[in-house]
C-alpha cells in the first residue's frame, strides 16, 4: 500500500510536469463552454446553411423551435462522448511505453517496486485526471446552460455517470493494452479496434442491453426520459466488471513473476468474448445480420452528367433469378442517401430490411445535398431538377441491371417524395407500384402554413408570435402574386422574398398531386403514421382515401403511435418535434414488414 501511495504521488506530479493535467483541463473546459453555445446558436447556423438549399428557399424554419436546456446537454454528451473520449485515450495511451523508453520505470522496478502497484497507481492517476476534467467540463456546461436556458432535464446526473463510467472503462482497457503492446500508438489503435467491435455488436438487440458502448447513446435517451435508470443497470454492471477485469489483467500481465503467460491470458480473454458473443447471438433476429444476407454496391446516379450522385444498391445475397426493386425518394431538404436526421436513418432501415427479404433497393444522396450551391444559382428551378429527374434515372439504372425484374420496379416516396411519387411515375418512372410514405396530395405551401399556425399556437411569447406571423404573411402575400402569373411571367420574374425560387412554387402549384394520381393506374400503398404532426391523418391521409378510395388495387395503412419518420412517438406537438427526432430509433418493424409483403403480393 505504501508503494502504491508513493508511486501515485509521483504519477500525479508527472501528469502536471508533462502537461497531461493542463491539456485535459483545457480541452474539457472548452467542451463545457462550447456545448451550450453551440446549442444556443445552432438554429441560426442551420438557417444560414439552408440558404444554399433551393427547395428550402423562403421557408420559415422557426418550427424547429428555440433551443432548450435539452439541446445544450445533448450537445455536451455528443462532444464529450466522442472527441472527449478520443482525447482521453490519446493522452494516456503512452502510460507504460513512455517510462519504459526513458528507462525510469526499469530503475524503479529493479529497486523492488511492486509491479502491481505501478499499474494500479498509473490507473488511479489517470482516473483522477479524467474525473477532474470531466467534472470541470460538466460544471462549466451546467453554469452556461443555467444562464442561457430555462428549465431542466430529467436524469441529468445519472446520464453524466454513464459517460464518466465509460471513460473509466476506456482507461482500464488502455492500461491493459498498454501492458500488452508497450507502444503508445499500438495501444491507441488496439483500444480503437475494441471500441469498433463493441459498436458492431451493438446492432444486436440482445447485446445492446449489456454493451458498455451503449452507455453513450443511453445518455441522451435518459435526458428524454425514454429510458429509465433501471433500464441502464445491465450495461452499467457489465462495464464495472470490464473495468475490474481489464485492470486486474493489466496488473497480472505486467507482473513477470506470475506463472501465467500473456498469450494464455489474451487467448482466454478472446475465448470468453467469443463465447459471450455466440451466446448473445442466439437471440439475434435474422434481419439484423446485414452483411450475411445483403450485398451493398456503390453506384452513381446520373453518371456522365453534371449532376452525378453517389448512392448504394442493396441486393439480396445469393438471390435466385431476377428480383423486384425499389427506388427511395427523399422528403424536402438537402438529404443524404439514408435520409439522416440526427442519429436516425430511415432509408437505411428500409433498404436493409427489404434486401434481407428478397428486394433490391436504390438510395442516393439528394441533388440539393451534393450540388446545392450550383442549384441555388439556377433560374427557373423546379422539382424536376431537384427530385424527379434523379428518381427516373435510378429506375432506368435498375431496369438495365439483369439481376432486376424490369417489370417490378417500385417507388417509395417519403414526405415530399410521396407527394411527387405519382408525378415521377407519369413523367417517365413507369413504376410497377407506388408507395406513399407519410406524403400529402396538398400544395406544399398549404402544409407549411398549417405548420406555422400550429407553431404560433404553441408559442407563449406574444412578440415571437407576431414575428412569426409577419414573416409568414409576407411570404404568403408574395406567393399569391406569383401564383397569379403566367408560365412565362413566373419564369422571368425575381421576387423580394422568394428570390429566384418563385417559379419553383408556381410549378408545384400548377402540377397538383391529384392530377398525377388520376393518371396513375398502378397499385398504391398509402402508409401514414397517426402521430405525424407534419402531415395529418384527418387531412392528408383522408384526402388520399378520397382520391383513391374507389380503386381495388389500393391499400391504406395507418400506424398509431408513430411519427413522421415512422418511429415511436411521444405525442409531442410541432414546437417540440425536433427534440423527438433527436431520439435514436428505427423504422417500426411492422411498417417494414408491410412494405415487403405488399411488394411481394404486387
SS3 track for 88-156:
HHHHHCCCCHHHHHHCHHHHHHHCCCCHHHHHHHHHHHHHHHHHHHHHHHHHHHHHHHHHHCCCCCCCH
Q: What DSSP line would sit under 177-205, residue for residue?
A: HHHHH-SHHHHHHHHHHHHHHHHHHTTSH
**pLDDT band at 517, cuts 50/70/90?**
very high
List the Cα angle 478/479/485 in 5-degree steps.
100
Class of domain 292-441+512-601: alpha beta
**pLDDT band at 256, cuts 50/70/90?**
low
Mean pLDDT (whole number) for 58-76? 64
Query: What number of other Cβ atoms are within 10 A of residue 407's Cβ?
Result: 10
Alpha carbon distance 258, 256 (integer Å): 5
Residue 89 has pLDDT above 50, yes or no: yes
Pairing label, strands 294-301, 323-329: unpaired
Alpha carbon distance 235, 217 (integer Å): 12
Mean pLDDT (whole number) for 238-265? 70
- Give this prediction's pTM: 0.58
As a whole-number percent, the residues of the chain with pLDDT over 70 amount to: 81
Q: Which helix (H) or strand (E) is 395 found in, with range?
A: helix 389-399
Tell me the chain's radius of gyration from C-alpha atoms: 28
Q: Which helix (H) or strand (E) is 583 found in, with range?
A: none
Alpha carbon distance 498, 204 (integer Å): 48
List the Cα angle 192/198/201 in 5-degree steps.
145
Listed residue (582, 588, 537, 541) closest to 562, CA to CA: 588
Alpha carbon distance 580, 224 (integer Å): 8
As a whole-number percent, the residues of the chain with pLDDT over 90 amount to: 35
The alpha carbon dihedral of 400, 403, 409, 411 has a sign of negative
Residue 289 has pLDDT above 50, yes or no: no
User: pLDDT tens, 91-112?
Assistant: 888 777 666 555 555 555 555 5
**pLDDT band at 560, cuts 50/70/90?**
very high
Those residues with Cβ within 8 angstroms of residue 326's Cβ, 6 or more apart along the chain or in another chain: 354, 359, 360, 361, 362, 409, 410, 411, 412, 435, 599
Alpha carbon distance 31, 84 (integer Å): 8
Grid coordinates given for 408? 417490378
Q: Which of 303-307, 576-580, 586-590 has the lowest mean pLDDT?
A: 576-580
Amino acid at each position: 500500500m505504501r508503494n502504491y501511495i508513493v508511486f501515485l504521488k509521483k504519477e500525479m506530479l508527472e501528469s502536471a510536469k508533462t502537461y497531461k493535467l493542463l491539456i485535459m483541463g483545457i480541452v474539457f473546459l472548452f467542451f463545457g463552454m462550447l456545448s451550450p453555445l453551440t446549442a444556443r446558436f445552432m438554429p441560426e447556423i442551420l438557417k444560414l446553411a439552408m440558404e444554399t438549399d433551393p427547395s428550402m428557399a423562403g421557408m420559415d424554419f422557426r418550427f424547429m423551435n428555440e433551443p432548450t436546456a435539452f439541446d445544450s446537454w445533448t450537445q455536451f454528451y455528443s462532444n464529450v462522448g466522442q472527441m472527449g473520449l478520443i482525447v482521453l485515450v490519446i493522452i494516456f495511451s503512452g502510460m507504460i511505453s513512455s517510462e519504459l523508453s526513458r528507462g525510469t520505470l526499469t530503475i524503479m522496478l529493479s529497486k523492488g517496486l511492486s509491479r502491481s502497484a505501478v499499474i494500479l497507481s498509473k490507473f488511479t492517476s489517470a482516473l483522477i485526471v479524467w474525473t477532474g476534467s470531466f467534472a470541470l467540463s460538466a460544471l462549466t456546461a451546467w453554469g452556461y446552460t443555467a444562464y442561457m436556458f430555462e428549465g431542466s432535464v430529467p436524469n441529468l446526473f445519472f446520464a453524466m455517470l454513464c459517460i464518466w463510467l465509460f471513460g473509466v472503462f476506456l482507461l482500464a482497457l488502455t492500461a491493459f493494452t498498454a501492458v500488452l503492446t508497450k507502444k503508445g500508438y499500438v495501444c491507441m489503435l488496439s483500444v480503437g479496434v475494441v471500441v469498433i467491435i463493441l459498436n458492431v455488436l451493438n446492432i444486436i438487440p440482445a447485446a445492446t442491453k449489456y454493451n458498455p458502448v451503449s452507455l453513450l447513446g443511453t445518455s441522451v435517451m435518459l435526458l428524454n426520459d425514454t429510458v429509465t435508470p433501471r433500464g441502464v443497470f445491465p450495461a452499467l454492471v457489465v462495464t464495472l466488471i470490464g473495468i475490474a477485469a481489464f485492470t486486474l489483467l493489466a496488473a497480472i500481465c505486467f507482473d513477470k513473476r506470475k506463472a501465467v503467460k500473456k498469450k494464455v491470458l489474451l487467448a482466454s480473454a478472446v475465448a470468453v468474448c467469443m463465447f459471450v458473443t455466440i451466446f448473445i447471438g442466439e437471440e439475434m433476429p435474422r434481419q439484423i445480420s446485414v452483411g450475411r444476407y445483403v450485398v451493398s454496391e456503390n453506384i452513381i446516379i446520373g453518371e456522365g452528367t453534371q449532376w452525378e450522385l453517389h448512392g448504394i444498391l442493396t441486393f439480396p445475397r445469393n438471390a435466385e433469378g431476377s428480383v423486384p426493386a425499389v427506388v427511395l425518394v427523399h422528403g424536402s431538404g438537402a438529404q443524404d442517401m439514408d435520409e439522416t436526421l440526427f442519429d436516425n436513418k430511415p432509408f437505411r432501415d428500409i433498404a436493409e430490411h427489404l434486401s434481407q427479404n428478397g428486394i433490391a433497393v436504390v438510395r442516393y444522396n439528394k441533388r440539393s445535398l451534393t450540388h446545392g450551391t450550383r442549384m441555388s444559382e439556377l433560374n427557373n428551378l423546379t422539382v424536376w431538377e431537384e427530385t424527379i429527374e434523379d428518381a427516373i434515372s435510378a429506375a432506368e439504372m435498375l431496369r438495365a441491371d439483369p439481376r432486376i425484374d424490369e417489370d417490378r420496379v417500385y417507388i417509395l416516396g417519403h414526405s415530399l417524395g410521396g407527394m411527387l411519387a405519382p408525378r415521377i411515375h407519369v413523367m417517365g418512372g413507369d413504376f410497377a407500384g407506388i408507395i406513399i410514405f407519410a406524403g400529402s396530395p396538398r400544395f406544399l405551401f398549404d402544409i407549411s402554413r398549417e405548420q406555422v399556425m400550429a407553431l404560433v399556437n404553441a408559442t407563449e411569447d406574444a412578440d415571437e408570435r407576431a414575428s412569426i406571423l409577419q414573416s409568414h404573411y409576407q411570404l404568403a402575400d408574395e406567393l399569391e402574386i406569383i401564383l397569379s402569373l403566367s408560365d412565362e411571367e413566373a419564369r422571368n420574374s425575381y421576387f423580394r422574398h422568394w428570390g429566384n425560387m418563385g417559379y419553383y412554387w408556381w410549378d408545384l402549384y400548377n402540377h397538383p398531386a391529384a392530377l398525377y394520381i388520376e393518371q396513375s393506374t398502378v397499385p398504391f400503398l398509402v402508409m401514414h403514421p397517426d402521430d405525424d404532426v407534419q402531415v395529418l391523418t384527418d387531412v392528408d391521409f383522408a384526402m388520399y382515401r378520397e382520391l383513391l378510395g374507389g380503386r381495388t388495387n389500393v391499400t391504406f395503412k395507418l400506424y398509431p403511435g408513430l411519427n413522421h419518420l415512422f418511429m415511436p412517438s411521444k405525442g409531442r406537438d410541432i414546437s417540440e418535434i425536433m427534440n423527438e427526432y433527436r431520439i435514436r430509433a428505427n423504422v417500426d418493424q411492422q411498417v417494414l414488414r408491410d412494405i415487403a409483403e405488399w411488394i411481394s403480393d404486387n
